[in-house]
Structure 1
Amino acid sequence: MSENSADRLDVVLLKAGRTKIRYTGELLDDDGTRVEVRAPWAGDGVRDFGFVRFEPGDVFTEYYWRDRWYAIKEVRSATGALKGWYCDITRPAVLPHARTRSTGGTPVGPELIVEDLDLDLWVSADGTDVRRLDEDEFADSGLARTDPEAAAAARSALDELESLARGGDFTTLLV
């Protein structure tokens, strides 16, 4: 990660109005629509999904869009081997200007804010394993009742990503 604090930002993942996780990443690119961030695995210890393990040393290159309802995280092992892509269905990302601390007004730096909508997609490195995840959590969230337009956009985003992954066009989103 770059030592230049201007290249760093906090990624804040919200879920149901609360901060699920916050971590610091290196801002690689921001073209005004898509934000690219690199960060080490921010979880505690190993997370074994059965089809992939996230573990200390893994590096995530994350792609967020201001105009799309998903985020794509390319996952590589500590040795650089591609594990695959974990896709979160989210509201479009928000990257406001640098924020300040409530005491003293000291600039803290930018934070990328992303609201997780429960649906996920996994795509293995070789593209043969494409899995829709957490559809039960999405149904239980009540989003279809409380914000039907957002729920429809989330389902549409998951369908789009799955179609691209199964059609072999998935990685075109990342260039």
Structure 2
Amino acid sequence: MSMRSADPAATLTVALVKAGRTKIRYPAQQVGDDGTRITVRAPWAAPGVRDFGFVRFEPGDVFTEHYWRDRYYAVKEVRTGGGQLKGWYCDITRPAVLRGSELLVEDLDLDLWVSADGSSVLRLDEDEFEESGLAGRDPRAAEAAVRALDELEHLARTEGLAELVR
């Protein structure tokens, strides 16, 4: 997939919204935009260390994040500051919307973690998704979210996510 040339100096603000509230906002360097997929790079944006048990996100980690305007997910390649691949953290989201210099992403609770070697593929937060009530409020979005999670899990277990974000 060829990328439109992105302004190497362009900084976007990624705004991750969940349940109508901004969960986090952070600056990210735009790496590419082919009209469908927007790719940005950013350091770990949350304060301190977040230890999930299966991976630790910490200061110095670098996220290369791929957002689609037509898909219900985002794929984030996670590396240490030294460049070692930790894995891929995938958020199930509504399609991303770029408004000026803000990249708006609505988190739909479901997530997928894939370790660097592909040996660990974990579906996350399915309980939060059920509790969110999305299936009752917006059944089409809920169905699209579950399909997106299934699709990413299938790709992770077969071709690997590296092929998706090439």
TM range (shorter): over 0.9
Q: TM-score, normalised by structure 1?
A: 0.89
Indicate yes or no: 2:35 matched with 1:26: no
Q: Deviations over 1:89-139 (max 9, x none)?
A: 00000002x2xxxxxxxxxxx000000000000000000000000000000
Counterpart-to-counterpart distance in 2, 1:6 and 1:51: 34
C-alpha root-mean-square deviation of aligned residues, in Å?
Answer: 1.1
| Superposition map of 1:16-95 within 5 A | 16-95=19-98
**Displacement after TM superposition at 1:46 (Å):** 0.2
Counterpart-to-counterpart distance in 2, 1:31 and 1:25: 17
Counterpart-to-counterpart distance in 1, 2:150 and 2:140: 15
Indicate yes or no: 2:136 matched with 1:145: yes
Contact 2:18 2:108 in 1 (8 A): yes
Indicate yes or no: 2:107 matched with 1:124: no
Task: Give the residue type in structure 2 aligned to 1:12.
Answer: A
The alignment partner of 1:26 has SS state of strand
Contact 2:88 2:161 in 1 (8 A): no
Q: In the alignment, which residue of structure 2 is the partner of 1:158?
A: 149
The alignment partner of 1:95 has SS state of strand
* Structure 2 unmatched ranges of 5 or more: 1-6
Counterpart-to-counterpart distance in 2, 1:50 and 1:20: 22
Counterpart-to-counterpart distance in 1, 2:83 and 2:163: 20
Contact 1:127 1:168 in 2 (8 A): no
Counterpart-to-counterpart distance in 1, 2:44 and 2:161: 22
Task: Give the residue type in structure 2 aligned to 1:151.
Answer: A
**Displacement after TM superposition at 1:7 (Å):** 1.1
Counterpart-to-counterpart distance in 2, 1:82 and 1:170: 12
Task: Give the residue type in structure 2 aligned to 1:164.
Answer: L
* Structure 1 unmatched ranges of 5 or more: 99-109
**Displacement after TM superposition at 1:155 (Å):** 0.1
Q: Name which one, 1 or 2, has greater alpha-carbon Rg.
A: 1
Deviating beyond 4 angstroms after TM superposition, the runs of 4 or more aligned structure 1 residues are none
Task: Give the residue type in structure 1 aligned to 2:153.
Answer: E
Overall identity of the aligned pairs, in %: 70
Task: Give the residue type in structure 2 aligned to 1:113.
Answer: L
Counterpart-to-counterpart distance in 2, 1:65 and 1:163: 18
User: What is the count of residue pairs matched by the alignment?
Assistant: 160
Counterpart-to-counterpart distance in 2, 1:173 and 1:71: 11
Pick from 102, 114, 134 the counterpart of residue 105 of structure 2: 114
